[in-house]
Structures are given as C-alpha cells and as structure tokens.
Amino acid sequence: MTTSLWQDAPEPMRAEHDDVVIGAGIVGSYAATVLEQRGRDVALVDARFPAAGASGRNAGFVLTSQRETYPVLIEQAGRDGAREILAMVRDNVSRMRALAVEYDVPFDEGAVHLAQSRAEARDLEEWARAYEADGVPVEFAEGDPYGAGFAATMRIENDFAVQPARLTEAIAAASGATLYDHNEVHSIKSAGDHLLVAGRRAHIRCQRVFVATNGYTGNLHPYLLGIVRPVRGQILMTTPVEPLIDVAGITEYNYFRQFEDGRVLMGGARCFFEEQEYTAEDVTTPNLLENLEAYLRRWFAGIDFEVERHWAGIHGFTPDRRAAVGLIPDESRIAFALGFSGYGNSIGLLSAERMVELALDGRDPGPLSAARFA
C-alpha cells in the first residue's frame, strides 16, 4: 500500500523521540519493548493498528522450527549456524509462552509435525534425529494422534498454538512506547544529526529507526526490496464440527487447529498456487480455498462443515527463507528485522532483540545477519 499527498493530515503532528519503530506487529512491538527496557524513548508507528498485519492474521503456531527443516538449515548455515538458530528459536518459543501467560492470552498446548507419505516420514525422522543430537526433546512415532492415516508424527516439547493478535496487542500496549496508529510512513529522511520519519498523520524526529514492516516493506527503502518479498497466505475457518483434532497439526504444505467450540482453522496450500501468491494483495481466492476445503475432507473422512470465514495475510520471505537482521548500508541509523518466511512466532522476538543489539551495541546478528545477501 502507499498513501497519496492528498491523504496526509492537513497539519501533521510534529513529535520527537529517541527511536522510531515502524510496524506494530509482533516484531516491532517487541523491539519497542526492548528499546524501552534500555531506557530509550520510543515511538511505535503503524499504518493501521497493532496486529493489523500478519501478526494478527496468522495461525498462531509457536513452533521450535523454521521454514526449512533442520537438516536443510544445517546445509545452509553449517552445523554451528544451525545450532545457533535453534538456540534462538527455543529461547523465542519459551519467551512467547511466558508472555502469553503473563498477559493471559489463550493458547493450546502442543502441536505436531505430520508426514503424509513414507518418503515424508523418512525426512521427518531424519529431522527428529538431528534435533535429538542437538539436545531438543522430541518424539518421533509412526501414525498420527487423530487416526486420520498420516504416516508419522514428530512432537517437540514446548510447542503450542496461541491467539496471535491478542498477544501482539498486549506486547504493544505493555511496551511503554508512544503509539502512532493510522500513520503510514512514506519517507525516512536524513536531516543532519537526526532522521525525520514522515507519515500520514505525524512527522517524527529521532536518532534511529527500526523497520519491522515485514511483507509490507517494499516502499520504505529500495535496499530492502532485495531482501524481503511479499507472499500471501490464506486461511479458512469452518463451522463447528465434532472433536477431531486434539492437537494442532502441520504438514509440509498445510496446517490446521480445532478450537474448543468445534471450529477448524485450516491454512497453507500456497505452494500449489505459487505464482498467484507472490503478492501483497489482501484478498482470498476461490481456487486456494477450495484446495484447503478438499484437504480437510480428504484427511478427515465424513467431516461435515461449511466455510464460515476466510482471510489472507502477507508474509515477508527472504531468498533463503530465514529471517534477516541488518542496517541499511548507506544509512546505519536505520536497522531492520524482516523476512520471517512464515515463522515470525518462532523467531520474531529474538530477531527484534538482535536488531536492537546490532544498532545500539554493534553486536553481529550471527546467522540472521542480512550481510549474507550483500
């Protein structure tokens, strides 16, 4: 999205803060929290409102995993790099749980990875063994907990599924930052010893800017276009059905959860419509929704439902489908944490923290460093 000159407030508010965080999703809200804890005076800015983006639309899985399986992460980042990412993810999952408890946000214990075929079961087992070797409590078993006919299941201790919008809103509200909502930022300009963040409703002077706009980043800085790409995800919710799924499940291309009231959330199938889903357009499409519906009917025979609701969300994907934390090369006062590639609940908090540490302390973000795309 962009905003036109005509849509600007006639007299935009003028403000000054130490730092401006752009994007009040889970990553920006947590970055604002970390900055406030470090004694900074922070403006948290959003084009709409906290959790308006992917953080308020996702499936709520908080998994000890990333878009790529652990064996693939090892190939990409080496064993030490993969171990470091894994340690961050485990820390992130624990923090998400602690925050959900602290803010009384509903969550369901557990989640399982499922293999649909013997070949997928072999890959899942390889992943489970690699996790075990690196100290992750994990159970691999033939079959599935629903008796639905999946080939195998991997269950990792501490995984769970949360109400993601409530959690993000709570983190934003507790951060201590001043919120500027409905304030889409259209430019970040250097003005001598400070930066000027110009939005529709407010122009904010600051020392540093933290960009946490994920899949919506395109218009903020050309450098970021090469790092993060918008990819749409779609989800449907059924009318209530009998208890079928006592623990949330994720397969290579799909995911599902059932709520206490019987409704089933079903998402994924993006890879079958790849070209169509490389977009930031916030609409659902009949072909993908039909595919999700057919998936549920195929695996849960006899299930009788109607689609009650459906929505879309925009992810940010990087070229190697791992989060990217960095500074803009020719303007080191602008930091960013982007590209969670569908796993922001698993690594978003740690990425936000690494972004702050990079900007304030010069700490290398390690395997999340965006320098790998230089």
Ligand X SMILES: Cc1cc2nc3c(=O)[nH]c(=O)nc-3n(C[C@H](O)[C@H](O)[C@H](O)COP(=O)(O)OP(=O)(O)OC[C@H]3O[C@@H](n4cnc5c(N)ncnc54)[C@H](O)[C@@H]3O)c2cc1C
Q: What residues make contact with ligand X under the rule CB under 6 A?
A: 22-28, 45-48, 52-55, 57-61, 184-185, 212-216, 220, 233, 235, 267, 313-315, 340, 342-346, 348
Contact present, 112 and 144 (Cβ < 8 Å): yes
Contact present, 195 and 188 (Cβ < 8 Å): yes
Query: 175, exposed or middle or buried, with CB in 10 Å at 0-12, 13-18, 19+?
Result: buried
Q: Match 């079958």 to its residue by tokens.
A: 272
**Buried/exposed code over 323-338 (b: 16+ C-beta within 10 A; e: otherwise):** bbbbbbeeeebbbbbb
- Beta 202-206 vs 13-16: how paired, if at all? parallel
Q: Smallest distance from the beta carbon of 301 to ligand X, in angstroms? A: 25
Query: Based on CB atoms, which residue is closest to ligand X, 143 or 280?
Result: 280
Could you give the CA distance from residue 274 to residue 268 in angstroms, rounded to a whole number? Answer: 11
Q: Smallest distance from the beta carbon of 342 to ligand X, in angstroms? A: 5
Q: Within a 13 Å sphere around the CA of 157, how many CA atoms are in the beta-carbon half?
A: 7
Q: Smallest distance from the beta carbon of 17 to ligand X, in angstroms? A: 15
Query: Based on CB atoms, which residue is closest to ligand X, 144 or 159?
Result: 159
Q: Smallest distance from the beta carbon of 89 to ligand X, in angstroms? A: 10
Could you give the CA distance from residue 331 to residue 206 in angstroms, rounded to a whole number? Answer: 14
Q: Smallest distance from the beta carbon of 343 to ligand X, in angstroms? A: 4
Largest CA distance in the chain: 67
Q: Smallest distance from the beta carbon of 29 to ligand X, in angstroms? A: 7
CA distances from 80 to 77, 213, 355 (A): 7, 29, 21
Could you give the CA distance from residue 25 to residue 335 in angstroms, rounded to a whole number? Answer: 16
Query: Based on CB atoms, which residue is closest to ligand X, 127 or 343?
Result: 343
Query: Based on CB atoms, which residue is closest to ligand X, 180 or 305?
Result: 180
Q: Smallest distance from the beta carbon of 165 to ligand X, in angstroms? A: 9
Query: Based on CB atoms, which residue is closest to ligand X, 79 or 288?
Result: 288
